[in-house]
A and B are shown apart, each in its own frame.
Chain A
Amino acid sequence: MNPRVFDKLKTLADAAKFDVSCASSGTSRSNPQKGIGSAAGWGICHSFTEDGRCVSLLKIMLTNHCIYDCAYCLNRRSNDIPRATFAVSELVELTLEFYRRNYIEGLFLSSGIVRNADYTMERMVRVAKDLRLQHRYNGYIHLKSIPGASREWVAEAGLYADRLSCNIEMPSEQSLKIIAPDKDYQSVFRPMHYIQQGFLQGKEEKKKYRHAPRFAPAGQSTQMIIGATPDDDNRILHLAHSLYQRPAMKRVYYSGYIHLNTYDTRLPALPAPPLVRENRLYQADWLMRFYHFGVDEIVNEVHPNLELELDPKLSWALRNPQVFPVDIQTADYEMLLRVPGIGVKSAQLILTSRKYGRLTSENLRKIGVVMKRAKYFITCRELPAFTVQEARPEYVRRMLLSPKHKENKQLAIDFDHALLPLRSNV
């Protein structure tokens, strides 16, 4: 192996690291021809870097030369950094050798744009094609679709890749135009649309012919940068919501802005990346995807931003005390999901277990319900009736925020609230 590969790997891994997606889930493919590799259907993380992010795919760029000058990007034309380009064969060998040693689950290939979008796409597709056809590689491949790429190349990419992605980058078109003058929403949405069409078409053909080629079976994902522009969470989550309405869209990633471009005045000088906000956005994203929340319930004109100190579900619950307490024994699945402290798994366990008898608070705790939070929002046998109704939302908020709070609530009740008529244990 060429000794220059060491330098290339360092440069191009460094260049690719701000892509958040590392998912290797969504495709299940076994290896009947006894080639190399399989896709497990669920993601497998093979290592974790010092920033705690998982390494599932070999996330790398084909080249970090780029004709664009997007202010947020490390690889913008005007940035003075070392540049490198992988040969297709070098990248194929690297992927296979890492794969054989169980270091990675597959390849995530992205690229800076050289000459034009199609020229770049062609080279990326060649890597995927070589892996699939020449080396009978069945592992995961995630290809980045270059903004502005034509339908033909997106269609070809979809034949070899498990997932395609096209980053929307900024939560609004105005922001994108200011920060990345060479891009607009059209250039992002068009490839996204091609992927969606290919995906649906592939599914349709699969119904008719069993051996019809699969088109990007793990769908597509996208990513936007948080905190680089004044867009609020309302805007971000509504955009994410509308993206999730598209059939092939599997994930929207949020990436907290890191202030790397120190000379550009279009970007804010954040002292640290907005990690808490990013986390809250992911929680809100989960509420939309797995907890049956409508986006307007999480953020709206009145509450345009997520609360940083409370998770969005608790925040919603405290804004809507009228729907609580929820009776564990009779509430439907949708309602159980809305109780802070009950997740998808515990909600399902409650549903199945309560058929056998009444659940006690001890049962709930063992099932995995976080009683510290849930106790204010539920009624079940032998739990003291001191719910958000009796205690008022402000009190619950204070209780759940103060870290030093002792479990003994007799000591914790202050005089304002001690005057409330407390029901005795039922």
Chain B
Amino acid sequence: MLYFLYDRTFDGLLTAVFDAFNRKEFPNRIVDQAIAIPLFTDTFSVITDVEKSKRVFIALKKKISTSALNMLFVCYLSEMEDVEMMIFRYIQKALASPISIELNFADNDVLSLSKIYKKVQNEAMHIKQFVRFQKTGDGMYFAVVDPLYDVLPLCSDFFEDRYADQIWLIYDARRHYGLYYDKKQTEQIHFETPPAFAIQKGRLTAEQQDETERIFQALWKDYLKSTTIQARKNLRLQRQFMPRRFWKYLVEKQ
């Protein structure tokens, strides 16, 4: 068994592809360098090199479309077990094939990756749907989310465009980082330890809140209650569209 160890960056993954071709040694798994490696496994540590990853990228570009390249990146964000190997095999096949393989859904890796892509995109959509900003005393709009996959990078443009005239922060409680927008640009902020607001379940205390915040939250809850048609009540349908795991940060479900 040969394990490639990498630093969990996309560039790292592409470097791993480069190294494999370069050394003519193909890994059985590509894993995070921080995890424990089973006994009797050969390992090779990939040292992330942007130059190498760029070369893989350019080679790929000749074989598959931009949307397929984008798909690979989105799949990498899924952080799923062994998605690295799927991407690796996909690249291998793409480079070997004289025609583009991206539409061959009879191939297992192409199909699985397209499914993972869909899942990650769905999760990004869920974030766009279910982010609930609370206004803080100093006028910032603040939200906590807990997405299954690392989808904040995929949502950044959307929020930046939509809320261009307000300062906002979206914090990923699972990965301890956030997107912060200061009316000019969006940047990622990393937290060493979970900040206080993450511990209080994403709720701002009365002192931290803007004084109107409570009113609009109450109005929103009232609105949802009034707009429900009791004769058509269907809680299962509600849960199907708005899975339970999002409820903890939804204003209307507190």
Contacts and interface: CB of A to CB of B under 8 A. Distances in A.
A17 interface: yes
Interface in B201-249: 212, 215-216, 218-220, 222-238, 240-242
Interface in A57-78: 58-60
25 contacts: A9-B219, A17-B229, A18-B229, A31-B162, A31-B164, A36-B164, A38-B161, A46-B129, A47-B224, A48-B241, A49-B227, A49-B228, A49-B238, A51-B232, A52-B241, A54-B241, A97-B212, A100-B135, A101-B132, A101-B134, A102-B133, A103-B251, A273-B231, A353-B105, A359-B106
A55 B226 CA distance: 12
A300 to B, nearest CB: 30
A51 B230 CA distance: 7
A34 B183 CA distance: 8
B211 to A, nearest CB: 11
A37 interface: yes
B158 interface: yes
B218 A37 contact: no
A10 B161 CA distance: 32
B166 A258 contact: no
B192 to A, nearest CB: 28
Nearest to B143: A102
A35 B164 contact: yes
Nearest to A259: B231
Interface of B: 103-107, 111, 125, 128-135, 141, 143, 158, 161-166, 183, 212, 215-216, 218-220, 222-238, 240-242, 250-252
B188 to A, nearest CB: 20
A50 B219 contact: no
Contacts of B162: 31, 36-38, 139
Contact of B223 (A1, A9, A38, A273): A9
B252 A47 contact: yes
A51 to B, nearest CB: 4
B231 A258 contact: yes
Interface of A: 1, 5-6, 9-11, 13-14, 16-18, 30-31, 34-38, 40, 44-55, 58-60, 94, 97-98, 100-103, 136, 139, 256, 258, 272-273, 275, 349, 352-353, 355-357, 359-360, 363, 366-367
B234 A10 contact: no
Nearest to A139: B162
A364 to B, nearest CB: 10
A144 to B, nearest CB: 16
Nearest to B231: A258
A273 B125 contact: no
Closest 4 CB pairs of A and B: A52-B237, A13-B226, A34-B164, A352-B103
B104 A98 contact: no
Given A31-B162, A49-B228, 15 more contacts: A5-B219, A6-B219, A17-B226, A17-B228, A18-B229, A34-B165, A35-B164, A51-B230, A97-B212, A98-B219, A102-B133, A103-B251, A256-B232, A258-B232, A352-B103
